[in-house]
Amino acid sequence: MEPAFGTYESFLQQKGNQFQSHLQNKVLLCRKCGKSNGYTLKACNQCHTSLAGVELGHTENAFTGFIYGIKYKISLRYSDEEVLIFDDMLQVSSCHINAIPTKVYIPDWRYLLLNPTEGLKLLEKLEEKGWYCIKTQFLMNEEWKSKYLRDTKELTEEDYKDMYYAGCNYPPSQFQLHLQFLLPPYRPFAWHVAPTMSVNGRGRFCPLSYLKKVLSLSLPFPVLPETPVESIYQFFDLQGVSYDAYYDQHLQKERRMHRRLVNWKVEDFEGIVVVDTPNSTQNQRFYKL
């Protein structure tokens, strides 16, 4: 879908500066490799250089840009008055989408705790629409299914409902609440680096099951911009909802579903990239298959 505004500046000039704070991500730019990192990280997640002393910087918020129609083209999956769904910009599986609310600005999932009842309702709405997209745009597409998934004849809608996962990251990559949906199998690279460099790593990724459980307790939590997510995990741990237990369950399921569904064939690839230094893009060698 084509954007209505060519740049963030042209949008702000026409609509007013009150939108400015919605259009920025808070980041720490790595001094060595230039990667923008989540503002709570201690070291760059690309080159591991310390981020101590790096001043808070800003990047353009692509997701609120999508909502207002600024700059970026969207690989759109679904839209209505309240929800926008699109392909993840750094897809690690062929079915990897994000659902965002369009009527409210919620920088990240922690703020849902200010009003757990409404927060839960919002997540459930995003969940319903995300599942609808997975079902109608992927699973009902026989050509897609036979290419990416293995042995699907016996699988029912209920089975698939249990095979995808959803959740939110904190800190997020883009500062607008987004519920991420992913149906394995992972692309080989993503599978290979996990779990050491999992896209949805422990501490940062919250499975939807955890978020729903925490919100269903209806215990408002006084979230401020600087509230560490660890203090939220600790608080709900004391209420009997263990983040680690939910995360472990998520990880096991993710592994199991990848192995169950993976359908890559040698002929799908041109070659193999061998990386000498783990977690680095340096010293890569390419071998043609």
> Is 33 an interacting residue with respect to Zn ion (CB under 5 A)?
yes
> Is 46 an interacting residue with respect to Zn ion (CB under 5 A)?
yes
By C-beta, is 171 or 207 nearer to Zn ion?
171
> Is 47 an interacting residue with respect to Zn ion (CB under 5 A)?
yes
Beta bridge partners of 99: 85, 179
Closest to 165 (Cα-Cα) out of 206, 109, 201: 206
Closest to 189 (Cα-Cα) out of 90, 283, 267: 90
Q: Cα(74)–Cα(2) distance, rounded to whole angstroms?
A: 7
By C-beta, is 43 or 106 nearer to Zn ion?
43
| Segment interacting with Zn ion (CB under 5 A) among 38-46, 50-58, 61-69, 158-166 | 38-46
| Segment interacting with Zn ion (CB under 5 A) among 44-52, 134-142, 186-194, 262-270 | 44-52
Q: Cα(123)–Cα(178) distance, rounded to whole angstroms?
A: 9
Residues 49-108 touching Zn ion, rule: CB under 5 A, are 49
CB 134: neighbour CB atoms within 10 A? 23
Q: Least distance (Å) from Zn ion to the CB of residue 280?
A: 10
Give the one residue of 23, 27, 28, 44 binding Zn ion; rule: CB under 5 A.
Answer: 44
Q: Cα(101)–Cα(112) distance, rounded to whole angstroms?
A: 12
Give the one residue of 23, 27, 28, 30 binding Zn ion; rule: CB under 5 A.
Answer: 30
By C-beta, is 31 or 256 nearer to Zn ion?
31
By C-beta, is 130 or 171 nearer to Zn ion?
171
CA dihedral 125, 259, 253, 42 (to 10 degrees): -90
> Is 29 an interacting residue with respect to Zn ion (CB under 5 A)?
no
10 Å CB burial of residue 204 (0-12, 13-18, 19+) is: buried
> For residue 137, what is the DSSP state?
I
Q: Least distance (Å) from Zn ion to the CB of residue 190?
A: 20
Q: Cα(239)–Cα(184) distance, rounded to whole angstroms?
A: 32
| Segment interacting with Zn ion (CB under 5 A) among 6-14, 27-35, 54-62, 253-261 | 27-35
Binding site for Zn ion (CB under 5 A): 30, 32-33, 35, 44, 46-47, 49
